[in-house]
Amino acid sequence: MTCTCFIVPQDILKRFASDPSLRDETRSVFDRTANVSRLVRAVREQQTAFTLAAMPFSLAPAVALVAPALRAASPSLVYDCQQGTSTPGLPVSNPSAAADGPTKRACEKALAVARFYSEVFGRDSIDDNHMTLVSSVHYSVGFANAFWNGAQMIYGDGDGEIFADFTNGDDVIGHELTHGVTQHSAGLVYSDEPGGLNESFSDVFGSMFRQWQSGQDVITADWLIGKEIMGPAALARGYTCLRDLANPAAAHCLAPQPTHYSQYQAGMDPHYSSGIPNLAFYKAAMAVGGQSWTKLGKVWYEALTDFAPSPNLSMSQFANRTRAISRNSFPNDATFSSAVDKAWTAVGL
């Protein structure tokens, strides 16, 4: 396994690192990005293991006694790596008022993700314990990725050809911060089926966050992941996104995915196997209608967070959790629970 928890999968980075149609400088950027991506995975796995080991020793925080509506927002700190790789970098004072676009976006969108989780799901920051949100921008030179390292967000500026600045994407920021939510709840390992679920949660909640920000319903949403980070060379090749929850195997996806559990293989990169639960969520959302986060999203959130840590959760186990929750939480709405059941059945689970 060489996949990491970056927004861009490892094989895509390697593909562009050896693409003769790209400039030497651009290929070199992708090669460096791929090497860093490979190494960061081990760091994040250690952070997840530490988080799970520390959970039994956590004390109920005083902030939990305060009504959610009265809690102050979690702080959002931003650091500038200044094209270096030492993190977190130099602290930026008052980042929400910064003239630098990536700094301002990293600060404001992290706060928006925290508001999304608070207002929609009643969660107090990423760890549900008022965690400070830390972001580092301008990481390395042309770094073509963004990632959650187990403790904070790190954003590259993009190579400028295939990828634009990674703070441009609401769903990218929502995706990566959701890795933190998963780390502090289910604690899923990043391999095989749990890894696919891990990536899927980030895509699903990242997409819901983007829809929530724009006030979109399931019909008006485009369900694309990474639309705003596609650079001119990617668009010229017909790539409009990284992934598409509505059509995971589409040719316009830079990283097309399987759409049925029969296509799953052990050891598959989680960025690809996540297409199966992604499509199940989309199908259920379209059948239910309305806004994805108001009802269906809460079922997915409860299935992720209301159970003891389950690092090796399988896709079928998660599917059955959502089936049970949809029946038990909405006992008078057989149409809703049927939509959830049929969506999973449609993808082979």
- Give Cβ neighbours of residue 69 (< 8 Å, ≥ 6 apart): none
- Give Cβ neighbours of residue 290 (< 8 Å, ≥ 6 apart): 217, 218
Q: How many residues belong to the chain?
A: 349
Annotate 190-223 with b (16+ C-beta within 10 A) or e (fewer): bbbbbbbbbbbbbbbbbbbbbbbbeebebeebbb
Task: Report the amino acid identity of residue 126.
Answer: I
Task: Report the amino acid identity of residue 36.
Answer: V
CA distance 333 to 290: 15
Residues 130, 138, 175, 176: which is the catalytic one? Answer: 176
CB hemisphere CA count around 255 (13 angstroms): 25
Q: How far is CA 17 from CA 8, 22, 89, 252, in A?
A: 13, 9, 27, 20
- Give Cβ neighbours of residue 226 (< 8 Å, ≥ 6 apart): 7, 169, 171, 172, 241, 242, 243, 254
Residue in the structure block whose two tokens are 């990828």: 163
For CA atoms 300, 302, 307, 309, give the dihedral sign. Answer: positive
Largest CA distance in the chain: 61
Neighbours of 93 (CB within 10 A): 7
Phi/psi for 23 (5° steps) reads -65, 155
For CA atoms 169, 117, 302, 304, give the dihedral sign. Answer: positive
Residues 130, 179, 184, 271: which is the catalytic one? Answer: 271
Query: Is 271 designated active site?
Result: yes
CA distance 293 to 261: 25
Residues with active-site annotation: 176, 271
